[in-house]
A and B are shown apart, each in its own frame.
Chain A
Amino acid sequence: MSIVEVRHLAAGYDGREILRDVSLSVTAGDVVAILGANGSGKSTLIRTILGLVPTSHGEIQLFGTPQKRFREWERIGYVPQRLGAGSGVPATVGEVVASGRLARRGVLSFPRAADKAAVRDALTAVGLLDRIGDPVATLSGGQQQRTLIARALAGRPDLLVLDEPNAGVDAASQEAFAAALTRFAESGGTIMLVLHELGPLRPLIGRAVVVHDGRIAHEGAPPEPAGHHADPDHDHVHPHADEVKAGICEWAPAEGTKAY
């Protein structure tokens, strides 16, 4: 079944086109990584699919329905790059994650036992249940990212859309959410994620889409670490400017199967 269908999409902000002619198809159970340089349009692509960036040409279908008429938002779990700018009003981890239930339970109804259970399950999945009553501002960057993933999981979505979930995240958190995403994929969930580099998520990715200059430059099996990147001792630290080249050029295409 087609989950996301994008045909000849062009989009951008304030008349400036960032995406030109992008076509993409994601079917149920796919795990698709969207790779590309800073400014290539990879984040804009998922944000346009979710309706956060206006479309100038082309069409988008979500779960078989044109995006403009799509109403089953509870089927989509969105994980933005970071928690909205800290406003100073404290919020607990549990309160933030409970927002993820709104799409399912509706604006006017009160949370029921099932909603509370879903919040606890989602926090368990990312290993943060013990922090449920803590203010999110006291969490590390990686733990905040896991909170956002728990918020998306709490809605029990069919499709998870993540925007650079492992940017600036500590190793423990990377492992924790790689595990959570693996479980989600194993249970039949579909995942689209924007990534700067594959990292510990590499075994999970079934297909990689490389966005370059607003177009899809390559689509296929995820790149294997090559050259010195493949060395087990390589600790994969490089200056930011080089990351992109490493991602696009040093490829050795492999089998397009999911490894989990």
Chain B
Amino acid sequence: MELLAYPYMLRALAGALIIGLTAPALGIYLVQRRLSLVGDGIGHVALTGVGVGLLTNTSPELTAVVVAAIGAVGVELIRERGRTSGDLALALLFYGGIAGGVVLVGLSSDKGNSNLMQYLFGSLITMEPRDIAVIGGLATVVLVTMLLLRPALFALCNDEEYARVSGLPVRTLNILLAVTTAMTVTIAMRTVGLLLVSALMVVPVAAAQQVARGFRSTMAAAMLIGLVSAGLGVVVSAEANTAPGATTVLMALVAFLGATIGGMIRRNLRRRHNRPPVTADPPDVVLHG
């Protein structure tokens, strides 16, 4: 615990907790829409943004948000238009994104692999106070949007046609969701890295829905699981000298396993509790013999 006496560790912890809380709040809508992997794809596209930033000497976070947002809106337009060729179009966009990113990062002035790795797998402990401010600001926007618009986004993701007939601004909400996804990917990039971004959006939700009964309770539980996984991930990785991002994701997966087993046991107990006494039913067939 004395590790937390170091300012860089405190910053790492703060960054991890922010993303641990924010990613599932957005991820639940993606899961509800069966777009669990879209965060992963947007992460691939964000890498091109990082490359653009490094190459042009602007903040990679800024260019990543912009490029990821363009990518996310593109995905949304493809999804809205055709349902058949969408899958392939998404694949093209995603691989184009990561290939472009690798090439652009390679072209930038410091050609070290470390630069690329830092974005692919996260680099919590190199965070500056300024990074925390950027992450905190973006996360606040995402969180407020997700919580404030929960009824509308729930209706949209639950039944898009019904939302349309209710007169909801479906296209605006879809684009809002796409842009906030891009923002979440960008803030998660520094903690878990672009390759594991989607895990923090999806795994806490998957864990929460094993035990929760409603959408609101699933959201609250997922945010809690994300927060605890991120906190534990940083502390455990510091003690065990492992990669913090990957450790965080493993913590969330442990929560998922625990919730799944816990949920199964609870359902079994309830079933046993509700089952009428066996003797009440006469057997259908009586064998004589």
Given contacts A87-B32, A91-B214, contact A98 B209 (CB under 8 A): no
Which residue in B33, B151, B159 is a CB contact (below 8 Å) of A98?
B151
B213 to A102, Cβ gap below 8 A?
no
> In whole angstroms, what is the CA distance A95 to B217 when docked?
11
Is chain B's interface secondary structure helix, strand, loop, or mixed overall?
A: helix
CB-defined interface of A78-115 with B at 8 Å, one 1/0 digit per residue? 10100111011111101110111011000110010000
Given contacts A51-B165, A73-B166, contact A91 B151 (CB under 8 A): no
Given contacts A92-B214, A95-B214, A102-B166, contact A80 B149 (CB under 8 A): no
How many residues of A are counted as interface, with CB atoms below 8 angstroms from the partner's CB atoms? 35
B48: interface (CB < 8 Å) = no
A99 to B155, Cβ gap below 8 A?
yes
Which among A78, A84, A111 has the greatest number of chain B C-beta atoms within 10 A? A84
A52: interface (CB < 8 Å) = yes
Within B144-170, the residues touching A (CB, 8 Å) are 148-149, 151-152, 154-155, 157-169
- In the complex, chain A residues whose CB is within 8 Å of the CB of B173: 107
- In the complex, chain B residues whose CB is within 8 Å of the CB of A76: 165
- In the complex, chain A residues whose CB is within 8 Å of the CB of B212: 90
> In whole angstroms, what is the CA distance A84 to B157 when docked?
9
- In the complex, chain A residues whose CB is within 8 Å of the CB of B162: 78, 80, 84, 99, 151
> In whole angstroms, what is the CA distance A96 to B214 when docked?
10
How many residues of B are counted as interface, with CB atoms below 8 angstroms from the partner's CB atoms? 34
Which residue in A89, A111, A134 is a CB contact (below 8 Å) of B32?
A89
B205: interface (CB < 8 Å) = yes
A220: interface (CB < 8 Å) = no
> In whole angstroms, what is the CA distance A89 to B202 when docked?
11
> In whole angstroms, what is the CA distance A99 to B159 when docked?
10
| A-B CB contact pairs (8 Å), 21 listed | A52-B161, A73-B166, A84-B159, A87-B34, A87-B157, A89-B31, A89-B215, A90-B214, A91-B154, A95-B215, A95-B216, A99-B151, A99-B154, A99-B155, A99-B158, A99-B166, A103-B166, A107-B149, A133-B213, A133-B214, A155-B166
